[in-house]
Amino acid sequence: MRIVVAPDKFRGTVSAVECAEALAAPLRGAGHDVVVRPMADGGEGTLDALGGPNRRTVVTGPNGDAVEAEWRYAGRSAVIEMARASGLALVGGAEGNDAVAASTHGTGELIAAALDAGANDVIVGVGGSATTDGGLGALRALYPVHRLRGVSLTVACDVRTRFVDAARDFAPQKGASPTQVKLLERRLERLQQVYLEEYGVDVSDLEGAGAAGGLAGGLACVGGELLSGFDLVAERLALDADVEGADLVVTGEGFLDEESFEGKVVGGMVDLARHVGVPVVAVVGECFDGADALVPTVSLTSRFGRERAMTETAALLAEVALELPSFAEPG
Protein backbone atom coordinates (compact mmCIF):
# COMPACT_ATOMS: atom_id res chain seq x y z
CA MET A 1 0.00 0.00 0.00
CA ARG A 2 1.25 3.52 -0.81
CA ILE A 3 0.66 5.78 2.17
CA VAL A 4 1.32 9.52 2.43
CA VAL A 5 2.09 10.54 6.03
CA ALA A 6 1.62 14.31 6.30
CA PRO A 7 0.90 15.51 9.86
CA ASP A 8 1.30 18.83 11.61
CA LYS A 9 3.09 19.15 14.94
CA PHE A 10 1.58 17.98 18.22
CA ARG A 11 2.23 21.26 20.03
CA GLY A 12 4.25 20.80 23.19
CA THR A 13 5.06 17.14 22.58
CA VAL A 14 6.41 16.25 19.11
CA SER A 15 7.30 18.22 16.01
CA ALA A 16 5.73 17.42 12.65
CA VAL A 17 8.98 15.71 11.64
CA GLU A 18 8.99 13.56 14.79
CA CYS A 19 5.31 12.73 14.40
CA ALA A 20 5.71 11.75 10.76
CA GLU A 21 8.67 9.49 11.48
CA ALA A 22 6.94 7.83 14.44
CA LEU A 23 4.00 6.94 12.21
CA ALA A 24 6.06 6.03 9.16
CA ALA A 25 8.60 3.65 10.71
CA PRO A 26 6.15 0.84 11.63
CA LEU A 27 4.38 1.20 8.29
CA ARG A 28 7.65 0.82 6.41
CA GLY A 29 8.50 -2.15 8.58
CA ALA A 30 5.25 -3.78 7.51
CA GLY A 31 6.24 -3.43 3.87
CA HIS A 32 4.21 -0.38 2.89
CA ASP A 33 5.53 2.30 0.51
CA VAL A 34 5.52 5.40 2.73
CA VAL A 35 5.91 8.99 1.57
CA VAL A 36 6.81 11.24 4.52
CA ARG A 37 5.77 14.90 4.27
CA PRO A 38 5.87 16.74 7.61
CA MET A 39 3.51 19.68 7.13
CA ALA A 40 2.90 23.15 8.49
CA ASP A 41 0.47 26.00 7.89
CA GLY A 42 2.75 29.01 8.31
CA GLY A 43 3.31 28.52 12.04
CA GLU A 44 5.98 26.53 13.82
CA GLY A 45 7.39 23.81 11.60
CA THR A 46 7.11 25.75 8.33
CA LEU A 47 10.88 26.10 8.10
CA ASP A 48 11.39 22.36 8.60
CA ALA A 49 8.69 21.52 6.07
CA LEU A 50 10.40 23.67 3.44
CA GLY A 51 13.83 22.14 3.80
CA GLY A 52 15.08 23.01 7.28
CA PRO A 53 17.46 25.69 8.54
CA ASN A 54 21.00 26.19 7.32
CA ARG A 55 21.81 29.59 8.82
CA ARG A 56 21.70 31.24 12.23
CA THR A 57 21.45 34.93 13.10
CA VAL A 58 21.38 36.58 16.51
CA VAL A 59 18.36 38.91 16.65
CA THR A 60 16.21 40.73 19.19
CA GLY A 61 13.72 38.40 20.86
CA PRO A 62 10.11 39.37 21.54
CA ASN A 63 10.85 40.78 24.99
CA GLY A 64 14.17 42.38 24.03
CA ASP A 65 16.63 39.61 24.86
CA ALA A 66 19.03 38.36 22.20
CA VAL A 67 18.04 35.05 20.58
CA GLU A 68 19.81 32.92 17.99
CA ALA A 69 17.27 32.31 15.24
CA GLU A 70 17.61 29.66 12.55
CA TRP A 71 16.50 30.32 8.97
CA ARG A 72 17.10 28.99 5.47
CA TYR A 73 18.89 30.47 2.48
CA ALA A 74 19.43 28.66 -0.81
CA GLY A 75 19.49 29.83 -4.42
CA ARG A 76 18.66 33.45 -3.47
CA SER A 77 15.52 32.21 -1.71
CA ALA A 78 15.02 32.55 2.05
CA VAL A 79 12.57 30.90 4.43
CA ILE A 80 11.98 32.59 7.77
CA GLU A 81 9.80 31.31 10.58
CA MET A 82 8.81 34.26 12.74
CA ALA A 83 8.30 32.03 15.77
CA ARG A 84 12.05 31.46 15.89
CA ALA A 85 12.66 35.18 16.35
CA SER A 86 9.43 36.49 17.91
CA GLY A 87 7.68 33.38 19.17
CA LEU A 88 5.80 32.80 22.38
CA ALA A 89 7.85 29.70 23.16
CA LEU A 90 10.99 31.87 23.36
CA VAL A 91 9.69 33.59 26.49
CA GLY A 92 8.35 30.49 28.19
CA GLY A 93 4.75 30.89 27.10
CA ALA A 94 2.07 33.35 28.17
CA GLU A 95 3.28 33.54 31.78
CA GLY A 96 6.70 34.81 30.72
CA ASN A 97 5.47 37.21 28.06
CA ASP A 98 4.99 40.98 28.15
CA ALA A 99 1.93 40.92 25.92
CA VAL A 100 1.87 44.67 25.38
CA ALA A 101 5.58 45.28 24.77
CA ALA A 102 6.39 42.10 22.81
CA SER A 103 7.87 43.10 19.46
CA THR A 104 8.43 41.60 16.01
CA HIS A 105 11.70 43.53 15.66
CA GLY A 106 13.72 40.31 15.53
CA THR A 107 11.64 38.99 12.64
CA GLY A 108 12.42 42.17 10.74
CA GLU A 109 16.09 41.64 11.52
CA LEU A 110 15.90 38.14 10.05
CA ILE A 111 14.30 39.47 6.87
CA ALA A 112 17.03 42.13 6.70
CA ALA A 113 19.69 39.42 7.09
CA ALA A 114 18.13 37.54 4.17
CA LEU A 115 18.19 40.68 2.02
CA ASP A 116 21.81 41.34 2.97
CA ALA A 117 22.65 37.77 1.91
CA GLY A 118 21.20 38.50 -1.53
CA ALA A 119 17.73 36.97 -1.27
CA ASN A 120 15.18 38.12 -3.83
CA ASP A 121 12.53 35.61 -2.78
CA VAL A 122 11.57 35.62 0.91
CA ILE A 123 8.92 33.47 2.59
CA VAL A 124 7.91 34.48 6.11
CA GLY A 125 5.90 31.89 8.03
CA VAL A 126 3.77 33.66 10.62
CA GLY A 127 2.31 31.81 13.60
CA GLY A 128 3.19 30.97 17.17
CA SER A 129 3.92 34.61 17.95
CA ALA A 130 4.33 36.36 21.28
CA THR A 131 3.38 39.66 19.68
CA THR A 132 0.46 41.95 18.93
CA ASP A 133 2.42 44.90 17.59
CA GLY A 134 0.89 44.97 14.11
CA GLY A 135 4.30 44.28 12.59
CA LEU A 136 5.59 47.72 13.57
CA GLY A 137 8.74 46.31 15.13
CA ALA A 138 9.55 44.35 11.99
CA LEU A 139 9.06 47.38 9.75
CA ARG A 140 11.33 49.47 11.95
CA ALA A 141 14.03 46.82 11.68
CA LEU A 142 13.65 46.84 7.89
CA TYR A 143 13.93 50.61 7.52
CA PRO A 144 14.42 51.96 4.89
CA VAL A 145 11.78 49.71 3.39
CA HIS A 146 12.67 50.58 -0.22
CA ARG A 147 15.29 47.85 0.08
CA LEU A 148 12.38 45.44 -0.50
CA ARG A 149 11.81 46.72 -4.03
CA GLY A 150 12.20 43.92 -6.50
CA VAL A 151 11.93 41.31 -3.75
CA SER A 152 9.16 38.71 -3.77
CA LEU A 153 7.91 38.73 -0.17
CA THR A 154 5.39 36.00 0.63
CA VAL A 155 3.64 35.81 4.00
CA ALA A 156 2.44 32.32 4.90
CA CYS A 157 -0.56 32.84 7.19
CA ASP A 158 -2.02 30.22 9.53
CA VAL A 159 -5.25 32.15 10.25
CA ARG A 160 -7.69 34.35 8.32
CA THR A 161 -8.09 36.89 11.12
CA ARG A 162 -8.52 40.57 10.30
CA PHE A 163 -5.95 43.08 11.53
CA VAL A 164 -7.66 44.63 14.56
CA ASP A 165 -9.32 41.33 15.52
CA ALA A 166 -5.87 39.91 16.31
CA ALA A 167 -6.02 41.55 19.73
CA ARG A 168 -9.34 40.08 20.79
CA ASP A 169 -8.84 36.68 19.19
CA PHE A 170 -5.27 35.86 20.19
CA ALA A 171 -3.75 38.32 22.69
CA PRO A 172 -5.30 36.52 25.70
CA GLN A 173 -3.37 33.39 24.68
CA LYS A 174 -0.21 35.51 24.81
CA GLY A 175 -0.78 36.64 28.38
CA ALA A 176 -2.86 39.80 27.83
CA SER A 177 -5.42 40.75 30.47
CA PRO A 178 -8.86 42.04 29.37
CA THR A 179 -7.65 45.61 29.91
CA GLN A 180 -4.53 44.96 27.88
CA VAL A 181 -6.59 43.42 25.09
CA LYS A 182 -8.56 46.66 24.79
CA LEU A 183 -5.31 48.65 24.77
CA LEU A 184 -3.85 46.45 22.03
CA GLU A 185 -7.07 46.72 20.03
CA ARG A 186 -6.93 50.52 20.14
CA ARG A 187 -3.26 50.42 19.16
CA LEU A 188 -4.01 48.28 16.12
CA GLU A 189 -6.89 50.57 15.12
CA ARG A 190 -4.52 53.53 15.18
CA LEU A 191 -1.77 51.60 13.42
CA GLN A 192 -3.97 50.66 10.49
CA GLN A 193 -4.66 54.35 9.98
CA VAL A 194 -0.92 55.08 10.09
CA TYR A 195 -0.22 52.32 7.56
CA LEU A 196 -2.86 53.74 5.21
CA GLU A 197 -1.33 57.22 5.47
CA GLU A 198 2.31 56.13 5.15
CA TYR A 199 2.08 53.23 2.69
CA GLY A 200 -1.30 53.69 1.01
CA VAL A 201 -2.33 50.18 2.06
CA ASP A 202 -5.63 49.53 3.85
CA VAL A 203 -5.16 46.44 6.03
CA SER A 204 -8.48 46.82 7.84
CA ASP A 205 -10.36 44.26 5.75
CA LEU A 206 -7.42 42.21 4.45
CA GLU A 207 -7.99 38.53 5.18
CA GLY A 208 -5.11 37.13 7.26
CA ALA A 209 -3.70 40.56 8.14
CA GLY A 210 -4.10 39.75 11.84
CA ALA A 211 -1.83 36.71 11.67
CA ALA A 212 1.00 36.83 14.23
CA GLY A 213 -0.60 39.77 16.00
CA GLY A 214 -0.82 41.84 12.82
CA LEU A 215 2.67 41.10 11.51
CA ALA A 216 1.07 39.85 8.29
CA GLY A 217 -0.68 43.17 7.83
CA GLY A 218 2.49 45.12 8.49
CA LEU A 219 4.37 43.10 5.87
CA ALA A 220 1.50 43.58 3.41
CA CYS A 221 2.20 47.31 3.62
CA VAL A 222 5.68 46.81 2.18
CA GLY A 223 4.68 44.50 -0.64
CA GLY A 224 4.09 41.21 1.13
CA GLU A 225 1.59 38.85 -0.48
CA LEU A 226 -0.57 37.08 2.11
CA LEU A 227 -1.25 33.44 1.29
CA SER A 228 -2.59 30.40 3.10
CA GLY A 229 0.40 28.82 4.78
CA PHE A 230 -0.89 25.32 4.11
CA ASP A 231 -1.45 26.04 0.42
CA LEU A 232 2.01 27.55 0.07
CA VAL A 233 3.76 24.60 1.72
CA ALA A 234 1.67 22.09 -0.24
CA GLU A 235 2.53 23.80 -3.51
CA ARG A 236 6.24 24.01 -2.76
CA LEU A 237 6.32 20.30 -1.89
CA ALA A 238 4.18 19.33 -4.92
CA LEU A 239 1.99 17.50 -2.42
CA ASP A 240 -0.87 17.01 -4.84
CA ALA A 241 1.26 14.64 -6.93
CA ASP A 242 2.06 12.54 -3.85
CA VAL A 243 -1.56 12.33 -2.76
CA GLU A 244 -2.99 11.58 -6.20
CA GLY A 245 -1.15 8.28 -6.45
CA ALA A 246 -1.72 7.17 -2.86
CA ASP A 247 -3.93 4.50 -1.32
CA LEU A 248 -4.22 6.36 2.01
CA VAL A 249 -3.38 9.75 3.49
CA VAL A 250 -2.48 9.98 7.18
CA THR A 251 -2.51 13.42 8.76
CA GLY A 252 -2.83 14.70 12.33
CA GLU A 253 -2.16 17.30 15.00
CA GLY A 254 -2.20 17.63 18.74
CA PHE A 255 -5.66 19.15 19.21
CA LEU A 256 -8.40 18.59 16.66
CA ASP A 257 -11.34 21.01 16.69
CA GLU A 258 -13.47 22.96 14.24
CA GLU A 259 -10.63 25.44 13.60
CA SER A 260 -8.52 22.56 12.31
CA PHE A 261 -10.60 22.78 9.13
CA GLU A 262 -10.09 26.54 8.66
CA GLY A 263 -6.80 26.82 6.79
CA LYS A 264 -4.91 24.39 9.04
CA VAL A 265 -2.98 21.28 8.06
CA VAL A 266 -5.61 18.65 8.88
CA GLY A 267 -8.34 20.47 6.99
CA GLY A 268 -6.06 21.06 4.04
CA MET A 269 -5.00 17.42 3.87
CA VAL A 270 -8.60 16.22 4.14
CA ASP A 271 -9.67 18.51 1.30
CA LEU A 272 -6.74 17.49 -0.87
CA ALA A 273 -7.26 13.77 -0.29
CA ARG A 274 -11.00 13.87 -0.87
CA HIS A 275 -10.56 15.96 -4.00
CA VAL A 276 -8.68 13.09 -5.65
CA GLY A 277 -10.74 10.33 -4.00
CA VAL A 278 -8.10 9.02 -1.58
CA PRO A 279 -9.15 7.81 1.92
CA VAL A 280 -7.80 9.93 4.78
CA VAL A 281 -7.42 9.43 8.53
CA ALA A 282 -6.31 11.87 11.23
CA VAL A 283 -4.25 10.75 14.23
CA VAL A 284 -4.64 13.36 16.97
CA GLY A 285 -3.69 13.91 20.56
CA GLU A 286 -7.17 14.99 21.60
CA CYS A 287 -10.44 15.82 19.88
CA PHE A 288 -12.87 18.64 20.76
CA ASP A 289 -16.29 19.89 19.65
CA GLY A 290 -17.16 16.68 17.79
CA ALA A 291 -14.55 17.41 15.13
CA ASP A 292 -14.00 13.67 14.66
CA ALA A 293 -17.30 13.66 12.76
CA LEU A 294 -15.53 15.57 9.97
CA VAL A 295 -12.77 13.01 9.36
CA PRO A 296 -12.04 9.45 10.51
CA THR A 297 -9.96 9.95 13.63
CA VAL A 298 -7.70 8.05 16.01
CA SER A 299 -7.39 9.93 19.31
CA LEU A 300 -4.47 9.13 21.58
CA THR A 301 -6.28 10.61 24.58
CA SER A 302 -9.38 8.50 24.00
CA ARG A 303 -7.27 5.40 23.55
CA PHE A 304 -4.58 5.81 26.22
CA GLY A 305 -5.63 8.67 28.51
CA ARG A 306 -4.50 12.28 28.47
CA GLU A 307 -1.39 11.85 30.64
CA ARG A 308 0.11 9.17 28.42
CA ALA A 309 -0.93 11.03 25.30
CA MET A 310 1.05 14.04 26.50
CA THR A 311 4.11 12.23 27.85
CA GLU A 312 4.50 9.23 25.53
CA THR A 313 3.32 10.77 22.28
CA ALA A 314 5.90 9.35 19.87
CA ALA A 315 5.64 5.83 21.28
CA LEU A 316 1.85 5.88 21.14
CA LEU A 317 1.89 7.17 17.55
CA ALA A 318 4.06 4.21 16.61
CA GLU A 319 1.70 1.89 18.49
CA VAL A 320 -1.38 2.93 16.51
CA ALA A 321 0.39 3.21 13.16
CA LEU A 322 -0.22 -0.36 12.04
CA GLU A 323 -3.97 0.09 12.49
CA LEU A 324 -4.08 2.88 9.95
CA PRO A 325 -4.06 0.87 6.67
CA SER A 326 -7.50 -0.48 7.64
CA PHE A 327 -8.90 3.02 6.96
CA ALA A 328 -8.14 2.48 3.27
CA GLU A 329 -10.29 -0.64 3.12
CA PRO A 330 -13.89 -0.38 1.85
CA GLY A 331 -16.49 -0.41 4.57
Each residue's pLDDT, cut to its tens digit, for the chain (331 residues) gives 999 999 999 988 999 999 999 999 999 999 999 999 999 999 889 999 999 999 999 999 999 999 999 999 999 999 999 999 999 999 999 999 999 999 999 999 999 999 999 999 999 999 899 999 999 999 999 999 999 999 999 999 988 999 999 999 999 999 999 999 999 999 999 999 999 999 999 999 999 999 999 999 999 999 999 999 999 999 999 999 999 989 999 999 999 999 899 889 999 999 999 999 999 999 999 999 899 999 999 999 999 999 999 999 999 999 999 999 999 976 4
Last residue of a domain, one of 230, 254, 285: 230
Q: 202, 230, 258: which is the final residue of a domain?
A: 230
Per the structure, the complete domain to which residue 219 belongs is given by 46-230
Cβ contacts of 75 within 8 Å, gap of 6 or more? none
- Tell me whether residue 93 is in a domain: yes
**Order of strands across the sheet that contains 121-126:** 55-60, 66-74, 77-81, 121-126, 152-157, 225-228
Last residue of a domain, one of 230, 258, 274: 230
Q: How many CB atoms lie within 10 A of CB 59?
A: 22
Tell me whether strands 2-5 and 33-36 are parallel, antiparallel or unpaired.
parallel
| Residue 165's CATH number | 3.90.1510.10
User: In total, how many domains does the chain have?
Assistant: 2
Within-domain flag for 235: no
Residue 302 phi, psi (nearest 5): -65, -35
